[in-house]
Amino acid sequence: MNRPADSEEIHRVARGLLQLAERLNATSAQPVRAPAALSPAMLLDRAEKLYRLRRLRGRHFDERLFGEPAWDLLLDLFIQGERGAAVSVSSACVAAAVPTTTALRWITTLVRNELIDQTPDQMDGRRKFIKLSQRGRRMMIEFLLRAE
């Protein structure tokens, strides 16, 4: 059941993510180009490491202490996109490591904030695929370039 406090928290975090995205966009007037030392493979490796660390953390601490399903979704979509893999909404919900209803609310928020795109499966109308939008991918690359 969606409590008003949950909804307020989701909106607060979404606003924070949007403000961070706007700050990152403001600091980068030119398209992001990875320095020679940071190839696309190295950026993928960095994203995978961040995602693995988040899952490892859950083995040692109560996951409820670290609720960031939007970040888990963005990391997974970056990783899968770089691998060329299609990501169904149900698969993304698993990667978010939260209840499906929570992941679906975050997917809706990320679509609304133009960080991910959603398309119907041409073979199965009941299924949808999601991926980082161009804007979302650019922002992830900018972050990964700065994350050391």
Which range of residues forms the domain containing residue 101? 4-146
Q: Which two tokens stand for residue 69?
A: 């399903």
Mean pLDDT, range 126-143, rounded to an integer = 95
pLDDT at 32: 47
pLDDT at 62: 80
Q: Which two tokens stand for residue 56?
A: 């490892």
Q: Which two tokens stand for residue 82?
A: 């770089």
Q: How far apart are CA 86 and CA 130, in angstroms?
A: 8
CB of 102 closer than 8 Å to CB of 96: yes
pLDDT at 125: 84
pTM assigned to the model: 0.70
pLDDT at 6: 56
Q: How confident is residue 89, by pLDDT bands cut at 50, 70 and 90?
A: very high
CB of 147 closer than 8 Å to CB of 46: yes
Side by side, the strands of the sheet bearing 116-120 are 87-88, 128-132, 116-120
Specify the CATH number for the domain of residue 133. 1.10.10.10
pLDDT at 37: 54
- With both helix axes pointing from N to C terminus, report the angle between 134-146 and 69-83 in degrees, rounded to the nearest 10: 100
Domain count, the chain: 1
CA 31 centroid distance within chain: 20
Q: How confident is residue 36, by pLDDT bands cut at 50, 70 and 90?
A: very low
